[in-house]
Amino acid sequence: MTVRVVETPFDPSAELAAFCRGRTDVGAIASFIGLVRDEHGGERILAMTLEHYPGMTERQLARIEAEARARWPLFDVLVIHRVGRMLPGEPIVLVATASAHRAAALEACAFLIDWLKTKAPFWKLEETPAGARWVEARASDEEAAARWER
Amino acid sequence: MRIRYFAWLRQRVGCSEEEVELPAEVRTVGDLKRWLGSRHPRFAEACAAIGVVKAAVDHEFADDDRPLAGAREVAFFPPVTGG
């Protein structure tokens, strides 16, 4: 298990290459990479700053990861979330899951990003040509997370 | 007790954290919201909009009826937008 909050750019390709390297029991790795876009709601995005709540962030990510492991047979999980100021094109988050078969890996990966988006204390501040604005939570994210409630 | 504010709530209140001595009648997260609102009018404004101000007690999400007994840190913040 690895959950990391990082303040500098990270390389998802290198992280994925190292994930489960050397293991021969893994039959499926699923991953999600979230990137900073240069447009949101018709406005140009110059940069994005991710604020978080140190301490609570790590605790909530570990809890979400434990929930995924309780629901699916996973060999390993990797969650990396960037904080601070970043530019369009840069990775914000990487979630990867490893299992024997694809269904568990794919479902667990979708679950992890859905719950992370609604249960981990991160906040996005966008810089636009008109100034900075805080991103509002979306109902569709709550709905995506709710489909995993049971 | 330490109170922390995040994102636009931090900007509205004008500080990221403060140490407070709670009066005995402040027993729950809801009580604390009302008490802090009397000190920070803009915090009260934000709390008046239902669902906008979330809380965590010692790093765990907490509803308004969560008791504060034994708590060391309470944080208030808008709905999260990570990922």
- Establish, for the pair of chains A and B, how many residue pairs have beta carbons separated by less than 8 Å: 70
Q: What is the 3-state secondary structure (H, E, C) of A97-121?
A: EEECCHHHHHHHHHHHHHHHHHHCC
The answer as to whether B15 is a domain residue is yes
| pLDDT over 70 at A34, yes or no | yes
Closest CA to A20 of A8, A10, A28: A28
Q: Write down the pTM of the prediction.
A: 0.95
Residues of the domain holding B69: 2-77
Indicate the number of domains in chain B: 1
Tell me which chain A residues have a C-beta less than 8 angstroms from the C-beta of B81.
Answer: 117, 122-124, 134-137
Tally of CB atoms within 10 A around A68: 23
Which helix (H) or strand (E) covers residue A60, if one does?
A: helix A56-71
Mean pLDDT score across all residues of chain B: 96
- The partner residue sitting opposite B77, judged by closest CB among A34, A59, A121, is A121
> What distance in Å separates the CA atoms of residue A38 and residue A47, rounded to the nearest whole number?
8
Q: What's the rounded mean pLDDT across residues A58-66?
A: 96
What integer pLDDT is reported at residue A83 of this predicted model? 98
> What distance in Å separates the CA atoms of residue A126 and residue B3, rounded to the nearest whole number?
26
Distances (CA, A) of B69 to A65, B37, B51: 29, 20, 24
pLDDT tens sequence across A84-139: 999 999 999 999 999 999 999 999 999 999 999 999 999 999 999 999 999 999 89
Q: What is the CATH number of the domain that holds B69?
A: 3.10.20.30
Burial B19-49 (b: 16+ CB within 10 A, else e): eeebeeebebbbbbbeebbeebeebeebbee
Secondary structure class of A150 (helix, strand, coil): coil
pLDDT tens sequence across B33-54: 999 999 999 999 999 987 789 9
Residue A1's pLDDT band (cuts 50, 70, 90):
low
Mean pLDDT score across all residues of chain A: 96
Domains in chain A with CATH codes: 2-146 (3.90.1170.40)
Q: What's the rounded mean pLDDT across residues B3-27?
A: 96
| A123:B77 CB<8 A | yes
The answer as to whether B83 is a domain residue is no
Residue A33's pLDDT band (cuts 50, 70, 90):
very high
